[in-house]
Amino acid sequence: MLDKIKSAYIWTAVSLLFLIWYPFVGIIYLFDRDKAKYNTGRFFRYVGSAMTYVNPGWNITIEGEYPKNPRNPYIMVCNHLSNADIPIISRLPWDIKWIAKIELFKVPLIGRMMTWAGDIPVDRAKKGKREKTLFIAQDHLKNKASVMFFPEGTRSKSRRVIRFTDGAFILAIKNKVPILPMVIDGSSDCLPKDSWVFTGQSNVVLKLLPPVETAHLTKDDVGVLRDQVRNMIINQLAEWRQTTPEEVDDLIYSANNTDN
């Protein structure tokens, strides 16, 4: 019963945050002359960050070195464990344009604010739409705004790192923009799946890893770059979980499990 009362408070507070933020994001959007709508996006991220402080059961730690100049753009990539990953990453003190599934842009209030902030919808069902997504992302990079990808494309149900898609790495090499890898762990239970009730304590850590330069790479290096970044994320998770990289890599784990 106590968990239900606490959860009702949390969801009410989150709803109020979006209602309060909505008109202010709209006003900033109208006066934002930055080509990347950087100021609008930055203000919108505050509501995501605020969400992480509403739930007393979320204990979040951020590690690693921040970029010295947030307007030097990066392709940012991170493993994906939960819908909570988005507000947690929004704690970072600069604007990031998110690649997000088109369904989110249809959610009342949230979808409109995402559009104002310059976030980028991707329609997974239409191949041509995915190419358009990369073109929009490229424009943001030219306008000195970083772009955020979850290269797994979906949340990992096993908590292991699943297969990475190539889009982020193609974009990085084509535009000679460095990759900024991030690793998140502990967020799997932050937002309940198929339930509205929050339970227990979630200790989450988000770490920024060293950037990976792409200026010397060509399109033939996409697979090498993808695997390098993926292995960096896997190795960090293995260290945190005090296990082997093979136990964290879903491709290896699944292959070994099938063989047995």
Q: How far apart are CA 246 and CA 258, in angstroms?
A: 14
Could you tell me the pLDDT band of residue 259, with boundaries at 50, 70 and 90? low
- Identify the pLDDT of residue 175: 96
- Identify the pLDDT of residue 101: 87
Q: What percentage of the chain exceeds 70 in pLDDT? A: 97
Backbone angles phi, psi at 37, to 5 degrees: 50, 45
What does the pLDDT average to over 121-145? Answer: 84
What does the pLDDT average to over 23-35? Answer: 97
Whole-number Cα distances in Å, 85 to 97, 171, 187, 191, 204: 15, 22, 7, 9, 10
Could you tell me the pLDDT band of residue 224, with boundaries at 50, 70 and 90? very high
What does the pLDDT average to over 238-255? Answer: 95
pLDDT over threshold 80, residue 129: no
Per-residue pLDDT tens over the stretch 37-85? 999 999 999 999 999 999 888 999 999 999 999 899 999 999 999 989 9
237's tokens? 């998770």
The answer to whether the beta carbons of residues 155 and 250 sit under 8 Å apart is no
Whole-number Cα distances in Å, 198 to 3, 210, 214: 6, 34, 41
Could you tell me the pLDDT band of residue 133, with boundaries at 50, 70 and 90? confident
pLDDT over threshold 70, residue 223: yes
pTM of the model: 0.93
Residue 163 is classified by DSSP as P
Q: How far apart are CA 192 and CA 93, in angstroms?
A: 26
